[in-house]
Amino acid sequence: MAITEYYTPTHVYFGKGVEDKAGEILKKRGATKVLVHFGGGSVKKSGLLNKVENSLEENGISYIELGGVVPNPRISLVREGVEIGRREGVDYVLAVGGGSVVDSAKAICYGIFDKEKGDTWDYYAYTRVPEGATPLGVILTLSATGSEMSDSSVITNEEKGLKRGYNSNFVRPAFSLLNPELTYTVSPYQTSCGTADIMMHTIERYFHAGDTLELTDRLSLALVKEVMEAGILALEEPDNYDARANLMWAGSLSHNGLMQVGNAVRGDWACHQLEHELSGMFDVAHGAGLAAIWATWARYVVAENPSRFVKMGVYLFDMEESGDKMADALKAIDYMENYFKEINMPTNLRELGIDPTEEEYRKLAESASYFGKRTLGSFKTLTPEDMYNIFKAAR
């Protein structure tokens, strides 16, 4: 079993009204000029942005705003934020929003710190390595990506049609303020996308090659089961605090590294990498894209270790084993696919609203393989042809 590192430096404040502490916390951390980063008008309409900025003013902290983050956050806005941050002497970034806002803020943090003052996309293109990042705080408004405690961020280069992720402990948030009440107004579609995303962050870690730790398996499956139940309840009762709280905390735990401790490898992550190409080319919602590709991937790789799927099916769906491992594994995949349908998530590309051409299928596979320079996955190693086959079969 490989050595596992578990590093979670983020100070989490969880509960009702924690967003009121933003100014106080930033003052204690020595912030003097803050870039407040957010998405559309919802944080303004709700009064959250005004509340946060009043908190900064009350604590003598100056700030500058940068809104406009969209799903699948764009490198163009990141570059704008980096320019502002360097020019204005920003020493802290505060992300107010969901995972897209947090990811955009992380990329800005890299860029402001960059002593070479180069292009931040270089990190996501893996042509340079960051040496640090401006510190980051988060006020979360959407339960999904887990970016509020993770080392990862994903940015889209709209000019090149590419979506790329980068991982570094430099951008683990210094603190995150998690108030489940701030997610009450999240739409049913985004609630379902978030539910799928949280589930997949743990499922990607659960499916891997090599040794595993039983406690981590049980923690992982328990988290997924709770998310499945909380996701349905949140759709039925949008202002159910317990459901929203469980989704929010599960989102953080699913992606901060806990669910991979003791595993031989970090996880499979093929579905995420394949979905990144779908988002880069077609600008689809990340959680929906993951749901659309997962069952096809699962049926493509199931023969590598059917028992892993059976274990999942028994725990999550109380599935009775027949003794036929492959039949039971396929049944477990069916159960998961049906759950995604239950929360109105797509289970193929047509349901996702896209119909790639043959040329686009090839381009998706080429880009996912970095034009033949990498394989994907650890549960089953996927070649570029495998990637193409999965994209095609998911239609």
DSSP structural state of residue 146: -
Query: 273: pLDDT confidence band, cut at 50, 70 and 90?
Result: very high
Give pLDDT tens digits for 328-366: 999 999 999 999 999 999 999 999 999 999 999 999 999
Query: 40: pLDDT confidence band, cut at 50, 70 and 90?
Result: confident
pLDDT above 60 (res 33):
yes
pLDDT above 90 (res 41):
no
Cα→Cα distances 393→296, 327, 351, Å: 7, 20, 13
pLDDT value for 13: 98
Cα→Cα distances 395→217, 230, 295, Å: 31, 29, 12
Query: 3: pLDDT confidence band, cut at 50, 70 and 90?
Result: confident
Q: Rounded mean pLDDT of 356-385? A: 97
Q: Rounded mean pLDDT of 296-306? A: 98
In angstroms, rounded to a whole number, what is the distance separating the alpha carbons of residues 146 and 201? 8
Q: Rounded mean pLDDT of 4-16? A: 95
Percent of the chain having pLDDT more than 70?
Answer: 99
pLDDT above 60 (res 327):
yes
pLDDT value for 234: 98
pLDDT value for 367: 96
Query: 264: pLDDT confidence band, cut at 50, 70 and 90?
Result: confident
pLDDT above 90 (res 227):
yes
Set out the domains of the chain in order of their start, with CATH numbers.
Answer: 11-182 (3.40.50.1970), 187-393 (1.20.1090.10)
Percent of the chain having pLDDT more than 90?
Answer: 96
Contacts of residues 289-293 at CB distance under 8 Å and 24 or more positions apart, as own/partner, are 289/352, 290/196, 290/197, 290/200, 291/196, 291/200, 291/340, 291/345, 291/346, 291/347, 292/345, 292/346, 292/347, 292/348, 292/349, 292/351, 292/352, 292/394, 293/349, 293/390, 293/394
Q: Rounded mean pLDDT of 118-134? A: 97
CB contact set of 227 (below 8 Å; sequence gap of 6+): 195, 198, 199, 202, 246, 247, 250, 254
Q: Rounded mean pLDDT of 44-69? A: 97
DSSP 3-state assignment of 139? Answer: strand
In angstroms, rounded to a whole number, what is the distance separating the alpha carbons of residues 276 and 151? 17
Q: Rounded mean pLDDT of 97-112? A: 98
In angstroms, rounded to a whole number, what is the distance separating the alpha carbons of residues 257 and 278? 25
In angstroms, rounded to a whole number, what is the distance separating the alpha carbons of residues 282 and 262? 36
| Number of continuous H segments (helices) and E segments (strands) in the chain | 16, 8
Owner of token pair 């107010």: 96
Task: Give the residue from 138, 220, 150, 154 showing the smallest Cα distance to 9.
Answer: 150
39, two tokens: 């998405």
Work out whether the CA dihedral 374, 395, 73, 231 comes out positive or negative. negative
pLDDT value for 65: 98
Query: 265: pLDDT confidence band, cut at 50, 70 and 90?
Result: confident
Task: Give the residue from 11, 20, 21, 37 showing the smallest Cα distance to 95.
Answer: 37
What H or E segment, with its residue span, contains residue 95? strand 92-97
pLDDT value for 266: 83
Query: 2: pLDDT confidence band, cut at 50, 70 and 90?
Result: low
Owner of token pair 């477990």: 332
pLDDT value for 55: 98
Cα→Cα distances 49→39, 217, 307, Å: 11, 39, 49
Longest dimension (CA), the chain: 67
Q: Count of CB atoms within 10 A of residue 1's CB?
A: 10
Cα→Cα distances 276→154, 188, 285, Å: 9, 23, 10
pLDDT value for 1: 57
Whether this model's pTM surpasses 0.85: yes
In angstroms, rounded to a whole number, what is the distance separating the alpha carbons of residues 376 and 84? 37
Q: Rounded mean pLDDT of 20-45? A: 96
Average pLDDT value over all residues in the chain:
97
In angstroms, rounded to a whole number, what is the distance separating the alpha carbons of residues 67 and 323? 55
Task: Give the residue from 92, 95, 79, 7 showing the smallest Cα distance to 43.
Answer: 95
Amino acid at 28: K
pLDDT above 80 (res 176):
yes
DSSP bridge pairs for 156 = 74, 163
